[in-house]
Structure 1
């Protein structure tokens, strides 16, 4: 009978069941996506490992060996994976997805790159490949994702193993244990961030599913009272309510499966850590899927039966909370206390969180802390609303009296938002503490105007110094380039080693960054006022404010010191280094943050003071300034670099000089997930508000008949939504900061709150309030009609 009421109760019954199915379906879809993540990641990693060409094995040529050079590039902010291949024998190893290795002047491309090259938008990219002919396509087994831009280009110009060129005997066979990603130790901080993030995103989804089962609860209770009038007992009404909840949850499972199938294709467009997925990779784990399929109906029935205990259904009506039940706080505090008890032993000194047991402990502890937020919210809402006065403006009075009569529905609706924000705040605090202590974040000091700068560099020791001058000139003559500054970078060390390191200290050999270039180029590295050919300058530090690296840099060499040039370039050069005496006229200058790759302690020399021919393993680098009026100026630079030497690497600051770190990616993913959960919970909050308005149609009609202005009722709906959400956000931010402090203490990181991120999350929650109010106004206006008082 309960199932029949759910699916055969007329238009209102179908609307109620559809809302329940939609709410449960949204939560189920999120859970199914979460269960599919392990398989998708495993498959993507396996494909990426299968095409790996960074192997350390026998370097002698053979029938199956080939030379491989990495030529990754980008095109209009899209990464392009590229490899130059040159076989040594007649049976070279083939990368996955390739049936024939391309010869000189040929290339094999991915389907997405083939479509781009064939379109008018790919004209500039075609010039980069110097007329190479496409002779085949890469299969799915050789690609990271369906939209990846990748190619293998044949060549006969690789002369052997050198900087940027390796010899391999097969793809995907990692023979050196140190080169295996599996041999690398897991990063505890990263693991902690992912575990806490998953708990923070999935816990509010579980709360949201429990709330969705209660859609239409008031009308259901009145219908059960009518059944009591015709002879049904209380046990029968509970079974009918359970059957109705079961029908809604089963339809929700079906809806969630359909939504999951629909989002597989958008998910396939997401790339993370150079990995992507195909829609066929997004497959839920069978055991976890079975768990979701069983747990959702069981929890739905359980929630329906538990909520029936708070309601007295009698033949002549429904009685709620009579007499009013005072909410107790003590048992609500047990959940966060249990969560803190699970996390505190880790934070008290045991920072090792790697392992199944420790991971489960962290997830359970975090989930209990977040569920404690949802448990404390109803008590807090009751305590605060009870102290509100009944006076004031009419809209506030109507909203306060409605909340004072029943805070259960409001607290139930807002609990999901509270849990989501608390978890997101904790993760943001953790990631902010981790990232601010990462020395590699120095590139973040650039201004937005620096987005028109490009760095072009060669491999160390790849060219003779005379060849670098031609590269610098080619870049200056490129279309869209305003200025170009080129330097030769190398290293120097004391010619006579000093005292050995103190016992027990693993300090690296003392060395200095060495740059040779004209005065204009050296001014990009330091604050130099007077400069002429023959001058030498010394600078200490990176020029980046508060850079942790600057605290451990070696002191400046003394003028007149004898230095070994390129001491670590090769074993032969190390045995017979070229020496150079630092002139007594060397001046100390202040460092300047630059795109050039240099050690924090720098020796800057003009060609007249240090002959570039003395450099044995120089790196040629150029800082190129683009014309902002030429949108494709960076593509012209990439084309010029590729035509000059395909092994040149080009880094555009506008595209991100430093590749997004793993913490950046995790933080962005969790931020997007938190906003997505807020949107889902906002949809549930809207459904709850609409349901409450429909239940109060006669009251609204009476107020309209007595002349209550519509704007007054509209503001009252805003207050009814805003008060619980504001209290929930205050509780969420406080608990989220507390959880974040506990997690930071666990990994021994400083407390540096990301207030802008917290403000963005609270702003998103505020936008949810305004959106719910605006979308509920049309139904409110329609219900405010005197004919709503008509009865039969």
Structure 2
């Protein structure tokens, strides 16, 4: 029977060959998407692991002494260039047996540094006052890929003497370089491993589920036509087991060929995938790899899944010994399918105002509600499709809408199956987009022209200064700072009453500034009438007050009068916002305290703190953008299968005078209605879940996502509809008069 099944699959005439090719190509596309998804997940995890070694110095495993190893003085800090993160690492070996970071052949000596390829290119093209003057000495080499999370990473490793680094309060001695799966509780770069794993699992489910649905749909092509042949086989004596075996062999051959071609599809698109910044940073092509588990799971799982799908497909049609095929109209789905969805909404709503006290309690509470809603959407999908189809049929003004509505209402399960994967993707990612957008909006991310984005602050905290060295004073501010084109003002903030700032019921900044100086730059606020000095934050911005712009702020009066004798807390430089002005000022400010925190804008600090959310937002956008066309492909395959199975009835209708335009309208409505219904319900449920979570966890209202979200969803839907429309020309070709005559 296996030999007969192979012969029917590959030598069963033109129709069999066409069916084999179409199924194989559809499975190949789905397999390529699945492999690309798995490789993207692996690359994202690999990229996060590449950050590990940069956390050396803050993990116990790296600072513990080791016999036979000369420790290295290690000081890692974060710098910025044109809004991008620039990582700087200062090192000093204490002996010849010192550990060496990845990507470089040896530790740089004093007056030497290694630069990443992206930074190397910038140093050749950007004027030295804006960037190069920050790094003493000469460049001795380029850092290799093994040390870089991304080809675009800006990283510099600077050599120092042990005596210089030993005097820095923030420096540490390390005896080992972190690597591999090593983790630390105080990681300063990269994502938390637990959070990352959970988030990646959700994203994987959102991408993989629609792809698996697409592959399963592809293996069911021409199911009804095969069942007619199987009925004829039963008539001449074939047993149900033999028929099932033939169907299994036929589907497995096509799926196996498609799976093999899918690996070729993946290799073809792999270079382009590496250039897509899924996490906000591009990948190395070598990071887009597949594990042996991935390869075996796909290579073996897809043919097995096709075999199972073929067997399950035969359960829908009862074949009698006389060869009569009788389709049984499924029972309509009942309203009880809405219970899990309603329960999930009720569970999330219950915790509004009743937030669990522990982190684990909050995780379990919100995760349970989301899982209930996801399961409820998948379970309620057929019922929602049926209700939409009955609405279309009940309000139909044309025959096409009536036929399509009645057909969808008779079997909503089959119509929903092709787009069921879209429910998970759209719901999860819409909820994530809504929550992240609202969080960022409530935290008032600065705009490009705001004072937060145009002013730099250099801080001189006592804990960052080398013991015994004098604190920089106003006279130490370089004169060339004010002469930089684009610099509008240079303000010195003195140290205020730190104890009062900590104990005050109303948050009060730790600095103090003369009202005469503040009046020169009204963008930072004003003094109350009659005040000589006011208490301010070190950056003259501080926490934003709701509804109050920085230039509308009235700072609290300070009783301090001896401003001249107080140490300087910070220097704030107001610029015109141009890159040249900000970067030149940053370079000059860094010379005042080369071992402290690098000067930065408030916008850069906020962007850095929101980096994790931004990365997850990028991943959410990718899932939405990919899942919609995948759903369109699933529907397109369903259209092709439906046309193949119904080509004789459609041919008869054409012979009776029905126009091809009306038949296309029928097929189009049968596919568009489930797609739009599922998309609307999933998006609405996602926004509802985000609203309930924000109210319960943060007491924030939901903010509508930006235009990018709607552009992605709209573009994905348009792409899906275009894919579906591309299949409609087949209708004329396969429903000609010869079809009715030949069959």
After superposition, the Cα gap between the structure-2 partners of 1:419 and 1:276, relative to the gap in structure 1 and judged at 3 Å, is: closer
Cα 1:6–1:496 change in 2 (3 A) is: closer
State the match for 2:598 in structure 1: 649
CA distance in 2, matches of 1:234, 1:542: 79
1:236 aligned residue = 242
Cα drift, residue 717 of structure 1:
4.3
In 2, Cα distance between the equivalents of 1:594 and 1:58?
50
Secondary structure of the residue aligned to 1:99 is coil
CA distance in 1 between counterparts of 2:398 and 2:169 reads 74
Aligned to 2:572: 621
Partner residue of 1:21 out of 21, 27, 30: 27
Counterpart residue number, 2:401:
396
Relative distance call for 1:694 and 1:56 in structure 2 (3 A) is closer
Aligned to 1:662: 612
Q: Does 1:465 align with 2:415?
A: no
| CA separation of 1:318 and 1:279: change in aligned 2, threshold 3 A | farther
Aligned residue number for residue 672 of structure 2: 722
1:535 to 532, 536, 542: 532
> 2:491 maps to which residue?
486
Name the CA distance, whole Å, in 2 between partners of 1:611 and 1:544.
Answer: 20
**Which residue matches 1:752?**
701
In structure 2, the partner of 1:523 is: 522
Structure 1 SS opposite 2:607: coil
Give the secondary-structure state (helix, strand or coil) at the position aligned to 1:254: helix
The answer to whether 1:672 aligns with 2:605 is no
Listed as ranges, the gaps of 5+ residues in structure 2 are: 466-470
Structure 2 partner of 1:225: 231
Contact 2:451 2:523 in 1 (8 A): no
Residue 364 (structure 2) pairs with residue 413 (structure 1): no
Q: Cα 1:539–1:88, aligned 2, differ >3 Å: closer, same or farther?
A: closer
Structure 2 CA distance, aligned partners of 1:173 and 1:31?
Answer: 28
Q: Give the TM-score taking structure 1 as reference length.
A: 0.72
Structure 2 residue aligned with 1:32: 38
Residues 299 and 671 of structure 1: CA distance in aligned 2, closer, same or farther (over 3 Å): same
1:683 corresponds to: 633
Find the counterpart in structure 2 of residue 386 from structure 1: 390
Tell me by how many angstroms 1:158 deviates: 8.3
For 2:572 and 2:389, the matched residues in 1 are separated by 66
What's the CA shift for 1:12?
A: 0.9
Deviation string 1:195-215 (CA, Å, 9 cap, x unpaired) is: 655544444444444333323
For 1:367-382, what aligned pairs fall within 5 Å after superposition?
Answer: 369-382=373-386
**2-structure distance, mates of 1:207, 1:67:** 54
Alpha-carbon distance, 1:477 to partner:
2.4
TM-score, normalized by length of structure 2? 0.76
SS in 2 for 1:626: coil
CA gap of 1:474–1:160, structure 2 versus 1, over 3 A, is same
After TM superposition, list the pairs within 5 Å mapping 1:284-303 onto structure 2: 284=290, 295-303=301-309
Distance 1:467 1:407 in 2: 79
In structure 2, C-alpha distance between the alignment counterparts of 1:740 and 1:372, rounded to whole Å: 16
Q: Any idea what the Cα deviations from partners look like across 1:150-207, whole Å, max 9, x if unmatched?
A: 2223357985566786253445379xx997449x997998887666555444444444
1:611 is aligned to 2:563: yes
CA contact (8 A) 2:57 2:172 kept: no
Using a 3 Å threshold, how does the CA distance of structure 1 residues 47 and 104 change in structure 2: closer, same or farther? closer
Deviation at 1:677, TM superposition (A): 1.9
Q: CA deviation at 1:260?
A: 5.1
Does the C-alpha gap of structure 1 residues 121 and 464 become closer, same or farther in structure 2, counting only changes over 3 Å? Answer: closer
Q: Distance in 2 between matches of 1:56 and 1:702?
A: 78
- Displacement, 1:309? 1.2
Shift of 1:619: 1.9
2:456 corresponds to: 455
* Alpha-carbon separation, structure 2, partners of 1:213 and 1:510: 67
More helix by share: 2
1:767 pairs with 2:718: yes
Unaligned runs of 5+ in 1: 502-506, 552-589
Deviation at 1:644, TM superposition (A): 7.2
8 Å contact from structure 1 (residues 22, 255) kept in 2? yes
Alignment of 1:50-129 (within 5 A): 64=70, 70=76, 72-75=78-81, 78-85=84-91, 94-114=100-120, 117=123, 127-128=132-133
Matched residue SS, 2:19: helix
| Residues in 1 aligned to 2:656 and 2:10: alpha-carbon distance in whole angstroms | 38
Contact persistence 1:73–1:82 (CA under 8 A): yes
Relative distance call for 1:121 and 1:235 in structure 2 (3 A) is: farther
Return the alpha-carbon distance in structure 2 between the equivalents of residues 277 and 365 of structure 1: 34
